[in-house]
Chain A
């Protein structure tokens, strides 16, 4: 089942902060985040593992609440290069991912 992302879209100015949420109806042991810039392929950002370990991007942080089956991506002091669509993904039994419908982030100068 597809995880649910919110908001669907957000527009902010350079330097502002944004939070993107991802929730799942099933128990999670990890959450995966990807970013897709316009006209390009999705690119891996980070993996959040049960127990708090985080692997990935050094300028974007995230949290993972296993009990609530939720994850949040925090983009602080946004840069123009942060613009794009952010997807969270939840793993299946064969290491495949089910992605959410995405959050479109637009950073204006």
Chain B
């Protein structure tokens, strides 16, 4: 089954404790992206990747890091999380057709 998976689905952590949210796709898509979703603000792009080892900043990259060492994986790293990063995070992947496939989401709470 074609899918994008994210782990964990729910995470509660404390300020400053490094964390990684994993994202994996099995569709051999070239493009991948991370979004955060906050009430009233829609989906805002954090980082995106055009292929292995090629990444670029989206609209809200501050406080986040990404890497793309393999085509299928695109982890999101928060090295020192803060409460303003409490949000719902989505990973997505797509190919040249533009249709994006989203993962199920990760709800992060930073206290």
Give residues in A with beta carbon < 8 Å to B: 2, 30, 32, 34, 40-44, 47, 87, 91, 94-102
Interface residue B61 (Cβ < 8 Å from any Cβ of A): no
Size category, B interface: 20 to 34
Q: A30-B98, A41-B104 are in contact. List 6 more A-B contacts (CB 8 A).
A: A41-B102, A91-B98, A94-B48, A94-B56, A95-B96, A99-B44
Interface residue B85 (Cβ < 8 Å from any Cβ of A): no
Verify B33–A96 contact, CB threshold 8 A. Answer: yes
Give residues in B with beta carbon < 8 Å to A: 31, 33, 35, 40-45, 48, 50, 56, 58-59, 90, 94, 96, 98-105
**Chain A residues near B58 (CB-CB < 8 A):** 96
Verify B98–A99 contact, CB threshold 8 A. Answer: no
The residue of chain A having its C-beta at the shortest distance from the C-beta of B48 within the complex is A96
The residue of chain B having its C-beta at the shortest distance from the C-beta of A94 within the complex is B50
- Neighbour of B43 across the interface among A42, A43, A47, CB < 8 A: A42
Verify A99–B56 contact, CB threshold 8 A. Answer: no
Verify B102–A47 contact, CB threshold 8 A. Answer: no
A20 to chain B, nearest CB (A): 13
Q: Determine which residue in A91, A95, A98 has the highest number of CB atoms from chain B within 10 A of its CB, and name it.
A: A95
Verify A41–B42 contact, CB threshold 8 A. Answer: no
Known: A94-B56, A95-B94. Contact between A87 and B99, CB under 8 A? no
**Chain B residues near A2 (CB-CB < 8 A):** 42, 44, 59
A9 to chain B, nearest CB (A): 11
**Chain A residues near B41 (CB-CB < 8 A):** 101
The residue of chain B having its C-beta at the shortest distance from the C-beta of A103 within the complex is B42
Question: Can you list 18 A-B pairs, Cβ within 8 angstroms, ordered by A?
Answer: A2-B44, A32-B98, A41-B103, A41-B104, A42-B43, A42-B100, A44-B100, A47-B99, A87-B42, A95-B94, A95-B96, A95-B98, A96-B48, A97-B100, A98-B45, A99-B45, A100-B42, A101-B41
